[in-house]
Amino acid sequence: MKVLIVEDDILLGESLKEYLYSHGVSVTWLSDEAEVKEILNSFSFDVIVLDLILKRRKGEDILQEIRRSGIETPVLILTAKRELHDKEVCFERGADDYLIKPFEPKELLLRLKALSNRAQRGSLISIGDVRVDLKTRTVYTASGEPVNLSKKSWDLLYLLIKNRRRLVTKEQILSYVWGDSIVGDEIIRFYIKELRKILPKESIKTMKGRGYLLN
> Which position has the higher pLDDT, 68 or 169?
169
Backbone angles phi, psi at 141, to 5 degrees: -75, 175
Q: How confident is the model at residue 112 (pLDDT cuts 50, 70, 90)?
A: very high
Residue range 146-151: average pLDDT? Answer: 87
Of 3.40.50.720, 3.40.50.300, 1.10.150.20, 3.40.50.2300, the CATH number of 2-120 is 3.40.50.2300
Q: Who's near 43: CB < 8 A, 6+ residues apart?
A: 4, 28, 171, 172, 175, 176
| DSSP reduced 3-state for 59 | helix
Residue range 160-188: average pLDDT? Answer: 86
Taking alpha carbons only, the member of 70, 27, 17 closest to residue 48 is 27
Q: How confident is the model at residue 214 (pLDDT cuts 50, 70, 90)?
A: very high
Q: How confident is the model at residue 120 (pLDDT cuts 50, 70, 90)?
A: low
State the pLDDT at residue 122: 52
Span 124-214: which CATH code? 1.10.10.10
1-15, 165-179, 189-203: least confident range: 165-179
The domain limits of the chain are: 2-120, 124-214
Taking alpha carbons only, the member of 155, 153, 171, 158 closest to residue 207 is 171
Q: How confident is the model at residue 162 (pLDDT cuts 50, 70, 90)?
A: confident
| DSSP reduced 3-state for 182 | coil
> Which position has the higher pLDDT, 122 or 190?
190
Residue range 70-83: average pLDDT? Answer: 89
